């Protein structure tokens, strides 16, 4: 079963360029993580400070393994420092 991970993040307006730089530098590394099938970055059409990542994983185990890596720890710490609000993260499975 494929797991889809959605993470909604609100950034300080002056930190958006820094976030975009971080994402561009690490997106290929994330896509090459074991079990990662897909990765996209979206931006809210009503609020340009809100970004959403959508990643697809072969299983919850692969997602959790990625989240336990030193790489994820470093990237998440850098990203969290740019937030204007608490992020919202959740996993879903495609039913049809």
Domain of 41, CATH number, reads 3.30.70.100
CA dist list (Å): 95 to 21, 52, 56, 67, 91: 34, 21, 14, 24, 13
CA dist list (Å): 52 to 1, 7, 41, 73, 96: 22, 5, 6, 18, 22
- Is the pLDDT at 94 greater than 90? The verdict is no
Integer Cα distance of 94 and 92 in angstroms: 7
Q: pLDDT of 27-81, one tens digit each?
A: 999 999 999 999 999 999 999 999 999 999 999 999 999 999 999 999 999 999 9
- Is the pLDDT at 8 greater than 90? The verdict is yes
Integer Cα distance of 8 and 33 in angstroms: 21
At 96 the pLDDT is 78
Residue numbers of the domain that contains 45: 3-93
At 60 the pLDDT is 95
Q: Which pTM value belongs to this model?
A: 0.94
Provide the domain count of the chain: 1
């Amino acid at each position: 079963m494929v797991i889809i991970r959605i993470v909604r993040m609100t950034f300080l307006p002056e930190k958006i360029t820094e976030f975009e730089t971080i994402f561009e530098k690490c997106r290929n590394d994330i896509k090459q993580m074991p079990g990662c099938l897909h990765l996209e970055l979206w931006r809210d059409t009503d609020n340009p400070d809100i970004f959403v990542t959508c990643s697809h994983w072969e299983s919850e185990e692969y997602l959790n393994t990625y989240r336990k890596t030193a790489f994820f720890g470093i990237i998440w710490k850098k990203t969290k420092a740019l937030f204007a609000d608490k992020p919202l993260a959740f996993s879903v499975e495609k039913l049809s």
